[in-house]
Structure 1
Amino acid sequence: MITLRKSGDRGHANHGWLDSYHTFSFANYYDPEHMGFRALRVINQDRVDGGAGFGTHGHRDMEIVSYVLEGGLDHRDSMGNGSTILPGDVQRMTAGTGVLHSEFNHSKTDPVRFLQIWIEPGRRGLQPGYEQKLFSRAEKLNQLREIVSPDGRDGSVTIHQDARIFAAILEAGQKVAHQLNENRYAWLQVVRGAIALNGLPLVEGDGAAIAAAGTLTVQASEESELLLFDLA
């Protein structure tokens, strides 16, 4: 069974410097029908103006994954990490027992666009941690590249949950397939472009929950980018 979550039905908050779309309930947007999917708790599509960002704030007991689409995002945290996240980079921060961090647009003039993803960890009270890796366009072109996993397989970023994230950039007409096993669930998020999931059309910002085992086939009608979550 596939349940669509259309882009225009998401929560939306425009703070001037920040324009954010919420796939699931977040901050002042609350929808009891969309509190998350399995361990996937947050998918926010954020656009931050040049020179702006999120000042120092705290998190606990969450696996936070950042996926930059355009521009650069400067990260600083209480663990001593400091980096700029660029398109192709995947950053994972384990909040665990508690961490403070800030995120600011690397540019003073141009916007940064990124996805902020929260996944509930398998257990609470973890030691805070940080990881960042680059996955090139070539690694994702016309194929599903595993970028996040519970075991770090194939050089993926490691999270503390039985969840895997795959990324793909599909040229027009190209398609990929993923076998969803019994007792597994999937969420597909269209980052940009237009695709068909088992024949169902989706466009940028759309998501889909999949709750039945079988083969998932994604075909692009124009150059597109997507994330596929395989969840317990």
Structure 2
Amino acid sequence: MSTTSPDPWCRPGSALDHLREDPQVIEVRDLVASGFARDEGALPIRANARLPGAMLKAGERIWQALSPSRCAYLVVASGRIEVNGEPMGPLDGAAITKVPAVEIIALEDSGLVMVDIGQV
């Protein structure tokens, strides 16, 4: 989602600056699949992309670093979450572009997967 969108829920900077300092915040790191050989343990795919996934308990939050030049697509497989303060429910999806990071908070036990396609 571009920051020039009429409903920009992903904004560069803003409230995300504190996340690196918070010991309860973890970065999404469970790779389901990857097109990069260095990502050992992930299911290999033929694409320049990564598919991190997470299972979150209600109240848990994670932080995913991106960069303004990368884009991602986030899908909620189950449960309800907030992404940078905006709610998402089961089977909702969101395109995320032109932001340095996203903060994901589980409103209830949730499963999610992100497709990180790298450079745009």
8 A Cα contact 2:56 2:110, kept in partner: yes
Instruction: Please say which structure displays the higher CA radius of gyration.
Output: 1
For 2:46 and 2:99, how far apart are their aligned partners in 1? Answer: 24
8 A Cα contact 2:83 2:102, kept in partner: yes
TM-score (norm 2): 0.72
RMSD of aligned residue pairs (Cα, Å): 2.1
For 2:68 and 2:97, how far apart are their aligned partners in 1? Answer: 10
1:147 aligns with 2:32: yes
Indicate the SS of the match to 2:46. Answer: coil
For 2:89 and 2:75, how far apart are their aligned partners in 1? Answer: 9
For 2:28 and 2:95, how far apart are their aligned partners in 1? Answer: 20
Indicate the SS of the match to 2:47. Answer: coil
Deviation at 1:182?
3.5
Within 5 A, what are the aligned runs for 1:1-232? 1=1, 144-152=29-37, 153-232=39-118
String of CA shifts for 1:114-173, please: whole Å, max 9, x gaps: xxxxxxxxxxxxxxxxxxxxxxxxxxxx95411111124130011111110011000000
Unmatched tracts of structure 1, length 5 or more: 5-141
8 A Cα contact 2:32 2:52, kept in partner: yes
- The AA in structure 2 aligned to 1:215 is A
Alignment coverage as a number of residue pairs: 95
TM-score (norm 1): 0.38
Identity of aligned residues (%): 32
Runs of 4+ in structure 1 off by over 6 angstroms are none
Deviation at 1:212?
1.0
Unmatched tracts of structure 2, length 5 or more: 8-26
